[in-house]
Structure 1
Amino acid sequence: RPRHWAGGAPPSGRPGAAEPGSARPGGEGRAPEDRAAGERAAGRPAAQAVRPAADPAAALRRMYVDTSPFSAAHLSLNAEVLGPERMLFGTDSPPMAAPLEDFIHMIEKLPVDEAAQRLILGGNAQTLFDLRSRP
């Protein structure tokens, strides 16, 4: 199971494998966090791993999206739901699905003002990555 999956991979790297120091693969004699890893390895989510965030809206306020989907509808929906202050200009280049000018023109056609367009085209990235303070 790849480590980037929710919950991470079991320490042994093999699903269902007993961890060093455990009495049995079932988990008796292990610390609670080790039992949770065993449950994940067996394909059962640990109770704490499936709890929703206390405030899902707060999680959305921390999320950024890029403009690489070459779809006016997709970009408009992102601007409406997340706001232009959560959008970063990106093309997934190379290769590009269209010329760079077409990507920029799509941003310019969004139903947002010019200040919001400037945020999307670079201002958000400058703020997020603290690029203004760099030489």
Structure 2
Amino acid sequence: MTTPSPLSALTTRNTRLFTLLLERELKKTGLRIGQLPVLQALQDGKTLNQKALADFADIEQPGMTTLLVRMERDGLIQREPDPTDRRSTLVTLTSDGQRKSRNIVPIMEHLTDIALKGFTPLERDILVTLLERINSSLKEQL
């Protein structure tokens, strides 16, 4: 068995550690990591239908349905029939969902500061640039 390249091993490990820390911090606010795309898409009072949310989050419709049912149960979103399309449901954040979603950016910034502790501003900029180039190269393969 061959070992993974240092790049793939490191990025996998970094992603896992960041995700674990993010999940821990979000849990304190009553949020889950899987809810982030919906909260992001609906920020600033936006209203979207379920298909648009599934497209934004890049997940299948059945998975989005399950996620929205749970978020509605938890009081984060509200769903209403689309007056222009009977088959569609419009989704918005509740006031509690809006309030809780305001915690996301400070949490992400805090975790980023932890991850980049000791990095100079130039090193941070270089790292972001390199990661963007990697993402671009990988997207080309999809």
TM-score by length of structure 2 reads 0.28
- Return the index of the structure with the highest Cα Rg: 1
User: Which structure carries more relative contact order (alpha carbon 8 Å, separation 6+)?
Assistant: 2
Q: Which has the higher strand share?
A: 2
Q: Which has the higher helix share?
A: 2
